[in-house]
């Protein structure tokens, strides 16, 4: 547990208030990041039951209880031995309390399996299920002082990874070699679950490949996600290899201009879509609009990419920027035949603008 217990208790209380407003009697939390948000610890195969009133219950695999208790403020911990035992307990909890409406977070995340939903519906055919994703993200969208300090430290770790990247992105190396060297540095600096993407050919957020070699004339994109206390920063840079084409040089200039505009224009009260349109105009003026992937910013926190996700969810582009948001920008790359041109930093939205933490 990285923060004071009252922080986590307050999170649960605020979520319970939102549950009541939405007519949800109990919530089953299976998404790893949300489980971490409420319990204070990242835990494999997360299962957390939150009633509309009272203490939450964590479910862990047999013999994990002692270790979990040392890392979380939650004292109601139940062990199970198999999937049947887990589902039996959840179903019994619903029936015992007479719940008719249950909340589940509809999201795509590690250990948050759609299979669980199918089994849950079969075992509880008369229970109404409501999606809690938006309710939880309303809580997570604006960061508190403890989260901000963790993100700042993650930014320092990410900086060491970028230093390594500058040294190891060389002709003849594979994407996998580059990623492994950066990952090693990040872990040695205290990042427990870093993410590194290396693209030596045109791909977005690409898992590094062992048989893709860096060659002369390419531009190599390196995306680094470093975490501290489970909170991430997201930063990206592109590295020209030897002599590159005029198109690549032109794209680098355009990306620098777009990055500067995003930093200067992103502030509370503005909408993402307005800045998005200004960036589009820059790429249009440079003759690069056909290479641009929309969505210049996304949220960062317990995930390397979380709400608001203007890159994926079109509706999020029309949201208003708020003080306390932590964003990665300029996220959207220029995908050229020579590779990906990208410059991205994590920023904290403050009262009069943004502060760069990577």
- Domains of the chain with bracketed CATH: 5-140 (3.40.350.10), 145-356 (3.90.230.10)
Whose CA is closest to 294, among 329, 345, 339? 329
CA–CA dist 14, 229 (Å, integer): 22
pLDDT single digits (tens) 131-168: 999 999 999 999 999 999 999 999 999 999 999 999 99
What is the mean predicted confidence (pLDDT) over 237-252?
96
DSSP string, 220-231: EEEEEEEEETTE
**Contact assessment for residue 229 and residue 322, using Cβ atoms and an 8 Å cutoff:** no
Whether the pLDDT of residue 204 is over 90: the answer is no
pLDDT single digits (tens) 44-88: 888 999 999 999 999 999 999 999 999 999 999 999 999 899 999
Peptide bond into 225 cis (omega under 30): no
**Contact assessment for residue 26 and residue 102, using Cβ atoms and an 8 Å cutoff:** yes
- Tell me whether strands 128-131 and 101-104 are parallel, antiparallel or unpaired: parallel
pLDDT of residue 43: 93
CA–CA dist 4, 322 (Å, integer): 25
pLDDT single digits (tens) 269-323: 999 999 999 999 999 999 999 999 889 999 999 999 999 999 888 899 999 999 9
pLDDT of residue 113: 59
Whether the pLDDT of residue 112 is over 60: the answer is no
Whose CA is closest to 266, among 347, 149, 212, 145? 347
**Contact assessment for residue 158 and residue 235, using Cβ atoms and an 8 Å cutoff:** yes
Whose CA is closest to 35, among 11, 16, 19? 11
Residue 16: half-sphere exposure toward Cβ, Cα within 13 Å: 15
pLDDT of residue 114: 63
pLDDT single digits (tens) 34-47: 999 999 999 988 89
Buried b (16+ CB within 10 A) or exposed e, 283-299: beebebeebbeebbbbb
CA–CA dist 119, 122 (Å, integer): 5
What is the mean predicted confidence (pLDDT) over 101-114?
77
Within 10 Å of residue 118's Cβ, how many Cβ atoms?
Answer: 10
CA–CA dist 148, 122 (Å, integer): 42
Token digits of residue 135: 């309710």
pLDDT of residue 66: 97
230 beta partners: none
264 sits in which H/E element: helix 246-265
CA–CA dist 31, 111 (Å, integer): 7
CA–CA dist 232, 305 (Å, integer): 9
Residue tagged 């229970």 (tokens): 127
pLDDT of residue 121: 82
What percent of the chain lies above the pLDDT cut of 70? 98
Q: Using CB atoms within 10 A of its CB, is residue 353 exposed (0-12), middle (13-18) or buried (19+)?
A: middle
Secondary structure class of 267 (helix, strand, coil): coil
């Amino acid at each position: 547990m990285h923060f004071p217990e009252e922080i986590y208790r307050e999170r649960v209380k605020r979520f319970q208030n939102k549950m009541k407003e939405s007519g949800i009697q109990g919530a089953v939390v299976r998404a790893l990041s949300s489980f971490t948000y409420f319990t204070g610890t990242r835990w494999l195969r997360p299962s957390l039951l939150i009633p509309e009133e009272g203490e939450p219950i964590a479910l862990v695999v047999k013999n994990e209880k002692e270790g979990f208790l040392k890392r979380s403020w939650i004292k109601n911990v139940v062990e199970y031995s198999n999937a049947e035992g887990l589902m039996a307990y959840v179903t019994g909890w619903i029936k015992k309390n007479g719940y008719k409406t249950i909340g589940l977070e509809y999201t795509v995340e590690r250990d948050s399996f759609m299979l669980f939903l199918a089994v849950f519906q079969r075992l509880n055919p008369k229970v109404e299920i409501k999606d809690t994703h938006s309710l939880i993200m309303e809580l997570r969208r604006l960061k508190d002082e403890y989260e901000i300090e963790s993100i700042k430290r993650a930014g320092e770790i990410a900086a060491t990874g970028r230093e390594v990247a500058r040294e190891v992105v060389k002709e003849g190396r594979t994407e996998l070699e580059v990623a492994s060297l950066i990952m090693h540095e990040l872990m040695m600096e205290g990042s427990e679950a870093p993410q590194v993407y290396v693209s030596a050919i045109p791909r977005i957020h690409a898992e590094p490949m062992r048989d893709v070699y860096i060659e002369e004339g390419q531009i190599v994109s390196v995306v680094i996600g470093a975490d501290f206390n489970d909170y991430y920063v997201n930063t990206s840079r592109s590295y020209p290899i030897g002599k590159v084409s005029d198109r690549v040089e032109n794209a680098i200039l355009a990306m620098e201009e777009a990055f500067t505009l995003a930093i200067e224009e992103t502030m509370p009260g503005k909408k993402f879509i307005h800045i998005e349109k200004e960036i589009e105009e820059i790429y249009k003026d440079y003759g690069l609009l056909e290479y641009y992937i929309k969505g210049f910013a996304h949220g960062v926190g317990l995930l390397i990419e979380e709400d608001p996700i203007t890159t994926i969810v079109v509706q999020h582009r029309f949201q208003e920027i708020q003080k306390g948001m932590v964003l990665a920008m300029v996220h959207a790359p220029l995908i050229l035949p020579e590779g990906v041109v990208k410059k991205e930093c994590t920023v904290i939205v403050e009262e009069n603008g943004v502060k760069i933490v990577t």
